[in-house]
């Protein structure tokens, strides 16, 4: 089982502040599962508008955090890193449920398990918890797609 720090996470995800939602990987079993952490701080930019009188992490960002953990798991499983020639897209969410608000000061535990892979589509089961209480559960689907290198689109159009 692997532990990954923020430097390694940055190699596996193209996301950066303010969209990077994984701070540390506690456990990773290639081809199977990952447990990661998102430390939720009052300094998060979304708290200024969601909600000023009672800051709550948006559910959609909890799902995004699970998808990012899934991306790390997939890149590790494929023995790849994120680069400019491909993008890991979030292509589906099923059975999303939100059971507990996530507030500043919470440590959001992200648990994702690979359910199956079919060609280039990966399906996962994910859940987030705070102090053992489930906050969010969802099934996620993601895919890795090759993209043109920067500048190729302009060249192709001419």
SS3 for the chain is: CCCECHHHHHHHCCCCCCCCCCCEEEEEECCCEEEEEEECCCCCHHHHCCCCCCCCCCHHHHHHHHHHHHHHHHHHHHCCCCCCCEEEEEEEEEEEEECCCCCCCCEEEEEEEEEEEECCEEEEEEEEEECCEEEEEEEEEEEEEECCCCCHHHHHHC
Q: Which of the two residues, 151 and 104, has the higher pLDDT score?
A: 104
Question: For residue 157, is pLDDT > 70?
Answer: no
Residue-wise pLDDT tens digits, 27-68: 999 999 999 999 999 999 999 999 999 999 999 999 999 999
CATH class of residue range 6-157: alpha beta
Question: For residue 148, is pLDDT > 80?
Answer: no
| Domain boundaries defined on the chain | 6-157
The per-residue pLDDT for 151 is 52
Residue-wise pLDDT tens digits, 112-136: 999 999 888 999 999 999 999 999 9
Of the pLDDT bands very low, low, confident and very high (cuts 50, 70, 90), residue 150 is low
Residue-wise pLDDT tens digits, 70-111: 999 999 999 988 888 888 889 999 999 999 999 999 999 999
Catalytic residues, which ones?
Answer: 50
Question: For residue 1, is pLDDT > 80?
Answer: no
The per-residue pLDDT for 97 is 98
């Amino acid at each position: 089982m692997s532990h990954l720090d923020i430097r390694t996470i940055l190699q596996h995800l193209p996301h950066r502040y303010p969209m990077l939602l994984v701070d540390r990987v506690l456990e990773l079993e290639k081809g199977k599962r990952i447990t990661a952490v998102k430390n939720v701080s009052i300094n998060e930019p979304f708290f200024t508008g969601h909600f000023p009188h009672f800051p709550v992490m948006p559910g959609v960002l909890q799902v995004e955090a699970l998808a990012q953990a899934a991306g790390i798991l997939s890149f590790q499983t494929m023995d790849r890193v994120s680069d400019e020639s491909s993008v890991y897209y979030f292509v589906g969410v099923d059975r999303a449920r939100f059971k507990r608000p996530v507030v500043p000061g919470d440590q959001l535990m992200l648990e994702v398990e690979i359910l199956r892979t079919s060609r280039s589509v990966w399906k996962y089961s994910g859940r987030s918890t705070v102090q053992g209480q489930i906050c969010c559960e969802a099934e996620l689907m993601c895919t890795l797609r090759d993209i043109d290198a920067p500048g190729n689109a302009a060249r192709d159009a001419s």
